[in-house]
Amino acid sequence: MSPAILLLTSQAKTVHSGVGTYARMLLRGLPAAAPEHRLHVATWREEIDPDLAGVQWIDLGPRSRCDPTPGRFWSFGRRAAAVLGDRLVTFDVVHCLDARDGHALGQRPRALAPRLVGTVHDDYAAQVRGAPWHYVGRAADPLRRWLFHRWLRHVERRAYTRFDRLLVNSAATAATLQREYRLDRPLWPTTLTIDGAAAVAPLRLPGQPCLVFCGGNFYRKGLDTCVRAMAELRPVLPAARLHVLGSCSSSPRLERLARRLGVAGQVVFHGRLAPAMVAAHLAAADQFVMPSRTEALGLVYLEAFRAGVPVIAGDRGGVVEIVRHRESGLNVPPERPDALAQAVVALHGDGALRARLVAGGHLVLATRPPQRLLEETLRCYGLGPSLAPLPARVPPAAAEVRA
């Protein structure tokens, strides 16, 4: 009988984050890439998509309404474990598309089927250190945020030990997991990517230049640095506008910051937008700015590459593996609004630099085709040509390499 694969994902029809983009890529691609394998998907009832061919759905019931965890991973993992139970052993491979969803699967003898695979999309909880006052003045809810990340760090460390293989999106993520969680599981590279084309409605945004920021965690993504940079830009580029896509509990605080700095009229908060509208805003931008304090990879940078927009990013984490300084974008220290303002001015006044960065972004996309993601995934399952795991000692963090 042909191998049976089970994917567990809380985002199968809708896309709320990079995990959803990843899930849609696999759900569309795996049936065509490996038609001989039986593909099952366990998800919330609302996420079942009957239009996807080659997929057998397992209904986990209605989505939990009272779960504050990212992607509702806590309730999703518990529901999946309760509904599937002993049925898990009927599959050859069980893949949690967000490895945190496997927190409730339970330990089992590693020689027994199925092979458990998880994908790790970020290392933010693993990086949490220090005390809650580190968040004071930087987050709207510093104590709650610190407590949550300390708890999440504990959950992740336990959950990740349940997997036979972990897929990671960057060398920086792998280095953090190995350093902080001391995992003895093989870490396997996976080339997260996006579709090569996006349907974009015509859109015009004010601003000379027109800057676009897109993210959910405004502090981690460096929006406060962007707002402060607008004050630095006002004397030299008074017509510049910053368009903020996304929502966060820090929004009121950052709106007050913009008013205090006298740039409230130059910072436009659009709120959370549908993916098609995000693509339309990116296509209308002159520059994409997101100087994240840390970024495991950042699919939105790939979306900016696809839109043909030059990118300014931070210089820490896995982002520098795709946004390479003066090749596919500019990297700036995330705590330096003056450096961000200088980068914006440099890009605005240098057409040759803009063209080179746009071409570099397209080249990065060309090296990350969807077929590569599918092939790496099947190899990690043990259903394709062998793929070596990452070495036990991965390269230094990307920011250290650049330094």
CATH of the domain at 232: 3.40.50.2000
Domain total for the chain?
2
Are 105 and 230 members of one domain?
Answer: no
Q: What is the pLDDT of residue 397?
A: 41
Are 149 and 214 members of one domain?
Answer: no
Q: Which amino acid is at 386?
A: S
* Domain membership flag for residue 399: no
User: Residue 366 and residue 361: Cα distance in Å, rounded?
Assistant: 9
Q: What is the pLDDT of residue 227?
A: 98
Are 222 and 79 members of one domain?
Answer: no
Q: What is the pLDDT of residue 398?
A: 38
* Domain membership flag for residue 397: no
User: Residue 297 and residue 120: Cα distance in Å, rounded?
Assistant: 11
Are 237 and 382 members of one domain?
Answer: no
User: Residue 193 and residue 124: Cα distance in Å, rounded?
Assistant: 20
Are 376 and 251 members of one domain?
Answer: no
Q: What is the pLDDT of residue 142?
A: 76
Q: What is the pLDDT of residue 185?
A: 76
Are 125 and 155 members of one domain?
Answer: yes
**Beta pairing partners, 211:** 242, 287
Regions of the chain short of the pLDDT cut 70: 1, 107-113, 130, 133-140, 199, 384-403
* Domain membership flag for residue 50: yes
* Domain membership flag for residue 311: yes
* Domain membership flag for residue 158: yes
* Domain membership flag for residue 200: no
Domain containing 57 equals 4-193+370-392
Classify residue 98 as left (phi > 0), alpha (psi -120 to 50) or beta: beta
Contacts 24+ apart (CB under 8 A), 316-319: 316/292, 316/397, 316/398, 316/399, 317/123, 317/170, 317/172, 317/173, 317/292, 317/397, 317/398, 317/399, 318/169, 318/170, 318/171, 318/172, 318/173, 318/398, 319/292, 319/295, 319/398
Are 243 and 351 members of one domain?
Answer: yes
Are 170 and 25 members of one domain?
Answer: yes
Q: What is the pLDDT of residue 390?
A: 63
Are 70 and 42 members of one domain?
Answer: yes
Q: What is the pLDDT of residue 400?
A: 37
Are 323 and 240 members of one domain?
Answer: yes
Q: What is the pLDDT of residue 286?
A: 98
User: Residue 354 and residue 371: Cα distance in Å, rounded?
Assistant: 29
Model's pTM, two decimal places?
A: 0.91
Are 75 and 223 members of one domain?
Answer: no
Condensed to tens digits (0 to 9), the pLDDT of residues 257-289 reads 999 999 999 999 999 999 889 999 999 999 999
Q: What is the pLDDT of residue 139?
A: 64
Are 272 and 290 members of one domain?
Answer: yes
